[in-house]
Amino acid sequence: MDWVFYAGLAVGAAGAIAMNVGKGVQKMKVHVLTKGKAMFAPENRRDFRIWLIGVLTTTASAGLYSYAMKLTEKPSTISSLVGIGLIALVIFAWLVLKEKIGPREITGCALVVVGTTVLAAFDVPMSDPEAFVLSKLLLYIAVVLAVFGVLVVYTLTTKKLHGVIFGSLAGALIGIGMFIADIALVESGGSFLGQLKNPYPYVALFTGASALALTQVAFLRSRAVVVVPCINSFTILMPMLLEFLVYNINLSVPQYLGIIVLIPGVVVLSTTSAGAGELEDKSAVEGWSEAEGQSN
């Protein structure tokens, strides 16, 4: 048994929990951002501090994800642990927000557990070290961003599909950031601290910060029940796509089946009230609309 690999899964799961619970805390108080400078006023400071705690918790996941990829050497495996984070978010909502757990949540959790277990159980260690060509990496990322650039122009012009497009772009940027973070480790020869000497960790942090900003835009302009599944799905799929295109790595057949089971579980959990924060989402959208009206 490869204990290092399973230790990496444990660290990655901790990162997924931090990311998703942090997003849940952000969604609870995201409406405070619609108040502009007034968010720092005494009556709003508590909400702002809670939102900021959510941001910091989500940010902490970056270091955990990076170390997890050092131990497992596979960004696609770590990104698939988003589902474990969603289970933690459902438990958070049950314990803290006093939401009920019903058949929908139980079904979603079961699918995530089965899919993640299959991915881990059928993992095949790489026979050759990871290698990449920078020009190929930049080309594929440029293509992805160009496609989303067109979609963003479309949604800003038509004022449609804000949640789907901004949420998917945020998830894609998170996935790209995770893959670039793995590139940092490859460049440093697997040294967790040595990676800080090359530019890739800082690029990964920039993409993560960009994803965070787009997440807030998506939450404020659309229903979170639409946004969150898009974020989580693209967070899982983007590293897998880049792994295939850049590293030429294929998953085993059982692992692809595990993904097929995992993604529906992620979508189910993302669209529950716990996963989507639907109650808070309504007030956020109304607050955004009010702020826009005042600015006009």
Tokens of 295: 């600015």
- Phi, psi (deg, nearest 5) at residue 85: -60, -35
Alpha carbon 213 to chain centroid distance?
13
The C-alpha atoms of residue 81 and residue 175 are separated, in whole angstroms, by: 12
The C-alpha atoms of residue 17 and residue 15 are separated, in whole angstroms, by: 5
CA atoms lying within 13 Å on the CB side of residue 242: 37
pLDDT at site 129: 58
The C-alpha atoms of residue 98 and residue 34 are separated, in whole angstroms, by: 26
Q: Which residue do the tokens 């089965």 mark?
A: 114
Nearest of 164, 152, 178 to residue 238 by alpha carbon? 178
The C-alpha atoms of residue 138 and residue 83 are separated, in whole angstroms, by: 28
Residues ≥6 apart with Cβ < 8 Å to 134: none
Alpha carbon 292 to chain centroid distance?
28
Other C-beta atoms closer than 10 Å to the C-beta of 138 total 10
Q: Per residue of the chain (296 residues), what is the pLDDT tens digit?
A: 478 888 988 999 999 899 888 877 877 787 888 888 888 888 888 989 988 998 899 888 888 888 888 888 778 888 888 888 888 888 887 887 677 778 888 888 888 889 888 887 777 666 555 667 888 889 999 999 999 999 999 988 988 888 888 889 999 999 999 899 888 888 888 787 888 888 988 998 899 889 988 887 887 777 766 777 788 888 888 888 888 888 887 778 888 888 888 888 888 887 766 565 544 444 444 444 444 444 44
pLDDT at site 274: 59
Q: Which residues of 170-207 are buried (b: 16+ CB within 10 A; e: fewer)?
A: bbbbbbbbbbbbbbbbbbbeeeeeebeeeebbebbbeb
- Phi, psi (deg, nearest 5) at residue 250: -105, 140
Q: Are 195 and 201 in contact (CB under 8 A)?
A: yes
The C-alpha atoms of residue 146 and residue 125 are separated, in whole angstroms, by: 34
C-alpha torsion angle, residues 220, 225, 230, 236 (rounded to 10)? 120
The C-alpha atoms of residue 159 and residue 29 are separated, in whole angstroms, by: 24
Tokens of 157: 């012009």
pLDDT at site 219: 75
Alpha-helical regions (H) of 126-244: 134-158, 162-187, 200-221, 224-242
Residue 120 CA: distances (Å) to CA of 199, 223, 254:
30, 33, 10
